[in-house]
């Protein structure tokens, strides 16, 4: 039939992961072939990961993360900036992206938890955060380190002296006993 028609693409299993085309108008004329092109493009999204100190909530620079795609392939290795942020844009549609911390900031424990996310909407930025616990500081001893037990030193010296005195007395008594025979 001759006339103007509106064409709207319906989604299906074949269009999962793609942005559907906008509504278009087709003009059908008598005895003419009308051609239309419908273009689909992959859904693309972004992710922002913010690294924080678990006790203070302050951002941490220098955390290294590896980003894996849903098939387990490495997308890239990224390091948090001075604001504790890593921003990756243009990730293709996918369910099961994964961040894994591979190097912690200086003075912090490595956080081995996997951080999972999905890219399912076009142009959307996924906001994530991860934290690290500080490594407890060990107090430094400016002098010599303690290498032995110094508790009850007087008791030990007293027992040693008594043992030596007892040994000497025992030896003298034996000498007298053997000498009088």
- Any idea where the domains of the chain sit in the sequence? 1-42, 43-132
**pLDDT band of 59, cuts 50, 70, 90:** very high
Are 96 and 118 in contact, with CB atoms under 8 Å apart? Answer: yes
Looking at per-residue confidence, does 7 or 118 come out higher? 118
Q: Give me the residues paired with residue 4 across strands.
A: 27
What is the structure's pLDDT at 49? 98
d(CA 102, CA 116): 15
In terms of Cβ atoms closer than 10 Å to its own Cβ (0-12, 13-18, 19+), residue 82 is exposed
Q: What is the architecture, at CATH level 2, of domain 43-132? A: Sandwich (2.60)
What is the structure's pLDDT at 24? 77
d(CA 76, CA 65): 8
What is the pTM for the complete model shown? Answer: 0.67
d(CA 81, CA 110): 17
Which of helix, strand or coil describes residue 82? coil
Other beta carbons within 10 Å of 60? 24
What is the structure's pLDDT at 55? 93
**pLDDT band of 179, cuts 50, 70, 90:** low
Which range, 24-38, 84-98, 128-142, 151-165, is most confident? 84-98
């Amino acid at each position: 039939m001759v006339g103007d028609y509106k064409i709207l693409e319906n989604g299906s299993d074949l269009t999962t992961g793609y942005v559907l085309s906008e509504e278009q108008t087709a003009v059908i004329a008598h005895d003419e072939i009308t051609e239309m092109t419908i273009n689909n493009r992959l859904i693309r999204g972004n992710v922002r990961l913010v690294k924080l100190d678990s006790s203070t909530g302050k951002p941490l620079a220098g955390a290294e993360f590896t980003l894996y795609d849903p098939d387990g392939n490495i997308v890239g290795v990224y390091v948090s900036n001075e604001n504790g942020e890593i921003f990756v844009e243009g990730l293709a549609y996918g369910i099961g992206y994964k961040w894994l911390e591979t190097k912690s900031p200086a003075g912090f424990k490595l956080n081995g938890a996997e951080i999972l996310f999905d890219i399912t909407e076009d142009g959307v930025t996924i906001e994530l955060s991860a934290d690290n616990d500080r490594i407890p500081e060990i107090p430094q001893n400016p002098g010599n380190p303690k290498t032995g037990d110094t508790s009850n030193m007087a008791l030990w010296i007293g027992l040693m002296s008594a043992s030596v005195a007892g040994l000497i007395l025992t030896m003298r008594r034996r000498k007298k006993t053997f000498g009088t025979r």
